[in-house]
Structures are given as C-alpha cells and as structure tokens.
Structure 1
Amino acid sequence: MTVELAYHASHEQFGPAELLGLARAAAAAGFDAVLSSDHLAPWSPDGESGFAWSWLGALAATTDVPLASVSAPGQRYHPAVLAQAIATVAALAPGRLTVALGSGQALNEHVTGDPWPDKAERNARLAECADVIARLLDGEEVDHDGLVRVDRARLYSLPPVRPRLFAAAMTPESAAEVATWADGLITVNASWDHLRDVVEAYRGAGGDGPVHVQVHVSWAQDERMAREQAVDQWAMAVLDPSATQDLALPAEIAAAAAGATPDDLADGVVVSADLDEHVEWLCTCAGLGVERIYVHQVGRDQAGFIEAFGRHVLPRVRERLGG
C-alpha cells in the first residue's frame, strides 16, 4: 500500500514569508505534498493569518510538489471568487492542486456581518457552492439562486487540468452527506474509533474517492517539551468540533480551551518525543485506506521537525508500507 506523507503549512502560527520557506524546506526534505490552511483569523490571539491563495501561488511557482488547501465557500468567499482563485493556482501548478471545501467556522466567516447559519444550513450551502465551483471549473456560465446567488459567472482563465474538489468533514454524519458530491474526503485525526467511523460513513454513503487525513503531532527533543508545546500551541484541540465552528474570536477559543492538559489532547494531537511512536501512528492511520496524510507539527520548531521526520520517519513509514 502506498500512502503520500505531506506537510501541513499552518498560517495560523507562522507569517507568510517564514511559512513559504518552511514549506519549501519540507518539500526538499522528502514530504510528498503541502497542505495550506485558509484562515482569516488564527486560533489564538497571538497567531498569524496570511492569505492562503496568494501564498499558494508563490508556493506553486517555487516548488513542484502537489498542493492542497481547505477553504469554506458561501460567506467570506463567494463561490465564483473562490473558483477563480482555484483556477489561477491550478494554472500555475497543472495537475498538482487538490481543493477541499468545508462548511466553515465562525472564526473566519463572521467578518461579513451576515448571520452565522446552523450546521444543516451550512452543509446545504456548501453543497450548492461545490456545484457552482465545479461547473465554473468545467468552463460553464453559471446562474444560481439559492442559499448563494450567482449571476452569469464564467471563468475566462481555466487550468489545463481540473483540480479535484474534496470535502472536509469531521463527523460521520457530515462525511456521509458530502459523499454525494465530493471527489474525495479530508478529515482530521481523532480517536481511532471516531476516525474509522468517519471513513466508513463516507464509503458507506457511496464516496469512492481518496481519503486524506490531517494529523496534528507534537514532537520535540524531549517528552516534557512535546507535552508543553502541545498545550501552548494547540490547546483548541480539546474542544468539541461544534465549539470550534461556532466561536467567533480567537480570544473566545483561547478562553474555552483554558486549563487543557496534554492528556486532554490525546485524541486530537499525537504527543511524543519518540520518533518510533510517530512511525507506528502514521502506519496505523494509513491502514484505514488513506491516500495522503498531512502531518502538522504544532510546535514552533518546524525546522527540527522537518529534518527529523524527513530523515527518520518518512523513509521508515514508506518502507513499512512498501511505498
């Protein structure tokens, strides 16, 4: 079984120029692809929030690795505007771009001043937007009047290869719902039972595309640092997904996650200074039938992580999996 091992570029933690250098270093170290987050606001008040689509253009022009991003159309992004951004980056990186569309988080979407819909309406809006974006990428002129409105939109610069439109889902219910339209699924690490349920729900509802998993890890030279940085940098992993979707400000998220301990994060972050444990976790994850795993080091030492995983983890996982 072959699985791609990729690097997650966290705009919420690093400024655009620094992050571009880190992503290029990860590609040089042997990571197979780069996933970009797409936030207007970070998870914590002292974070960063570079614009994903201009950054992806820079990465496309300076590397030859596959690229991916998770974006939420329907509120902050009109689907025609997001479709144009996708088409432009895909033209700069023919055949290398995968886009995952999600229902979004109030953290990034509240800035429009429009009411934040409930989850059912957000899912319905997402399906409408996905259809609009797909038709635009196919070269159609699109009119649409529903939860979003589109008037005679058309893309005049189309990429030579139409990018795949995945769906982002964190629950079995959402995974089953998006299976009706998505070219693939991206989800995030959780307890093994939950992660398995999400994948099986997607497959059971007819989803036959690839599955990608974003994995948050906290690796450091010693166990104490690995545990401390997990809480310092990624305490929000303790929150239920519905809370992270409905809280509007970084300060609100920080307050909701206050008091989290490393043990509280066990299902959301793989915390270990032992590279052997990371090898085992990635191999087990691949065993769920995953095509690509995006590894997100939550700690600040990205250079050390890239070097250690590029040298000691990625080759061993590939050897174990026969890739």
Structure 2
Amino acid sequence: MQVGYHASHEQFAPSRLLTAAARAEQAGFAAVLSSDHLAPWSLRQGESGLAWSWLGAVLATTSLPAGVVTAPGDRYHPVILAQAIATLTEMFPGRLVPALGSGQALNEHVTGRPWPPKAVRNRRLAECATVIRRLLAGEEVTHDGLVSVQAARVWSLPAEPPPLFAAALSPATAREVASWADGLITVNAPDRDLTAVVEAFREGGGEGKPVHVQAHLSWAPGTEEAEAQALDQWRANALPPILNEELALPEQVDAASQHIGVDGLRSSVWIETDPEWYVERLAAYAELGVDRVYLHQVGRDQERFLDTFGERVLPRLQRRDL
C-alpha cells in the first residue's frame, strides 16, 4: 500500500502547497492528491487555487504521481476536462490519476444553472465519463443527453490514456460508478462503513480494480491542539451529504456546522497525537485491500506534519512491507 499526501487547495495558497509537495516527496510520501475547488469550505480557510495549473507545476517539479478529484458537467465541460487530462498525461506519462465525481454546489453553483438532484448528477457523471474516455481515445464525439457535445476532438493526446477513477462516498454510488470506473477513490470512515463502500464497488463491477482513500486527520503533539485545529479547519466534514453537497456558499457551510463538536468529527477525521496510532490505522487499511491512502492533515502546520510522519510513520509501514 502506498501513502500519499493530500494538497488541500481550500486551506493553503498554491505556492505553499507546491513547496509542501516537494517536502512530502523528500519525506518519503509516494504520491500527491489535489483537491479541485472554486471555493473553500469555510471563510477561515480562505483559499482555492486552480487545481489544473497547480498539477502542471507539481508534476514538473516532483517525480510523484498526482491524483485529482474533479467534477465534470457544470463548472467544467467534459471536453475541457478531457483536454486538460490529455495535456498533462502527454507531458507526464503514467503519472496523472484523475477521479471524476458528481460535485458539490459550493463549487458548481457559479454557472447559474439549477443544481440537479444526486440521481441526476450520477447519470450525468456517467455520460461525462463516457465522453471523456472517447475523447482520450482520439474519437470525434457528438453527444446529446444531460450534457451536450458537438463534434469535439482532442488533438494533443498521450500515447496511453490514464485510468479514470470515480469518487464515491456511499455504497450506492460506489456500486453505480463501478460499471465505468477504472478505480475508486473514497474517504476514511469507520471500518464497517468503508468496507461497505469498497465491497459495493467490487460487487458492481470493480473487482480487481484499485481503491484509493483520502484520509482526513488532525495530528499535533498535544491533544488540545489536535482537537482545536480539527474543529477550526474541518468541522464541515461532519455535515451529512444532503448539506455538504447542497450548500452553495462558505458562509452557509460555516453556519450549518457551527454547533458541531469534536466528538461529532471523530468518525470522519482521525484526531490522534501518537504517530504509532497512525501506523496501526494505516496497516489496518492495507488489510482492507486499500492500494493507496492520501493523508490530509487538516491543521495549518503542514511542514511539521510532513517531517514527523516522514520520520515516525512511513518508515514503520515500510518495515511491515504492506
């Protein structure tokens, strides 16, 4: 199992994340994952660089493979995403791992179009995935459905198209996307819930395909600091999907999550101070059949996290030969 670093554009300026990615590589992290937001989750976070510009920079300045979770259909037309994916893959063969998801209103409302219900978004996602895959294969594509494409072609293509992962948070979505996805990316959850998502993906047609997990964590040397930074930066993670995917403004997310306490976060954010605890937790994920875990330190001190985990977590996992 590989352990990667998650670059959270909602929380940090792109320049700082570029430096952090280089530091992650030096510390022994095996990959990097980029969020793809137009807006942060909270006014306290206050950032959101363009992922596709940043991905070009990180692929050029490190040797790490880079994943990204992106949402075709509203803010990004699938033809534009296909062109972006093709360009990066042509320049950096075998290193880009794009994952397609159904998105959140927080980022997609800006086009002014009505925000579809989840079932419609999933159908649109499948259409977009088909369009993108055909374009990456060099086809001229015309499509008229939940998304419209007219005589589109991507001219600068890589020798080999990259795998198209799907992002899913629930067993129902994981089962649905398995029919078209080359792999799955989901988020950390209690083992029972995570196992249900992974099993649904495999039952839906994803057997033998890779599974990646983005793991939110709040590490600090002291418990009080670890809890405080989790609440300050990532309390919205405890909101149910009906809110998390439907609220359109950071101010609304802040208002909806203001009463969440640290106990409400523990099922979705690892809040621990002992590096050995993380060694055991990651080992358990390897036993669940996870191929790659991207660690997202929600605290502001990225550098201390990278150095500590590079010294005290990653070597322990390597010695276990997971």
- Identify the TM-score tier after normalising by the shorter chain: over 0.9
Question: Which amino acid in structure 2 is aligned with residue 290 of structure 1?
Answer: V
Gap runs ≥5 in structure 1: none
Residue 202 of structure 1 is matched in structure 2 by 201
SS of equivalent residue, structure 1 residue 164: coil
Question: Which amino acid in structure 2 is aligned with residue 142 of structure 1?
Answer: V
Deviation beyond 4 Å, 4+ runs, structure 1: none
SS of equivalent residue, structure 1 residue 162: coil
Question: Which amino acid in structure 1 is aligned with residue 279 of structure 2?
Answer: V
Structure 1 residue 319 displacement after superposition: 1.9
Residue 87 of structure 2 is matched in structure 1 by 88
Q: Supply the distance in 1 between the matched residues of 2:293 and 2:55 (Cα, whole angstroms).
A: 19
Residue 23 of structure 2 is matched in structure 1 by 25
1:155 maps onto 2:150 in alignment: no
Structure 1 residue 160 displacement after superposition: 2.3
Structure 1 residue 55 displacement after superposition: 0.5
Structure 1 residue 201 displacement after superposition: 0.5
Residue 66 of structure 1 is matched in structure 2 by 65
Q: Supply the distance in 2 between the matched residues of 1:94 and 1:8 (Cα, whole angstroms).
A: 21
* Deviation sequence 1:85-113 (CA, Å, 0-9, x none): 11111122110110100000000000000
Structure 1 residue 286 displacement after superposition: 1.6
Number of aligned pairs? 320
Q: Supply the distance in 1 between the matched residues of 2:206 and 2:197 (Cα, whole angstroms).
A: 11
Structure 1 residue 294 displacement after superposition: 0.4
Residue 117 of structure 1 is matched in structure 2 by 116
Q: Supply the distance in 2 between the matched residues of 1:242 and 1:160 (Cα, whole angstroms).
A: 41
Question: Which amino acid in structure 2 is aligned with residue 308 of structure 1?
Answer: T
Structure 1 residue 161 displacement after superposition: 2.6
1:36 maps onto 2:12 in alignment: no
Question: Which amino acid in structure 1 is aligned with residue 232 of structure 2?
Answer: D
CA contact (8 A) 1:60 1:92 kept: no
Q: Supply the distance in 2 between the matched residues of 1:64 and 1:45 (Cα, whole angstroms).
A: 33
Q: Supply the distance in 2 between the matched residues of 1:30 and 1:160 (Cα, whole angstroms).
A: 29
Q: Supply the distance in 2 between the matched residues of 1:107 and 1:272 (Cα, whole angstroms).
A: 29
Q: Supply the distance in 2 between the matched residues of 1:285 and 1:273 (Cα, whole angstroms).
A: 19
Residue 319 of structure 1 is matched in structure 2 by 319
Residue 298 of structure 2 is matched in structure 1 by 298
Structure 1 residue 269 displacement after superposition: 0.3
Structure 1 residue 52 displacement after superposition: 0.2
- Which residues of 2 match residues 91-106 of structure 1 at below 5 A? 91-106=90-105
CA contact (8 A) 1:35 1:294 kept: yes
Q: Supply the distance in 1 between the matched residues of 2:159 and 2:258 (Cα, whole angstroms).
A: 48
* Deviation sequence 1:113-166 (CA, Å, 0-9, x none): 000000000000000000000011111111100000001111111112311100
Q: CA RMSD in A?
A: 0.8
Structure 1 residue 200 displacement after superposition: 0.6
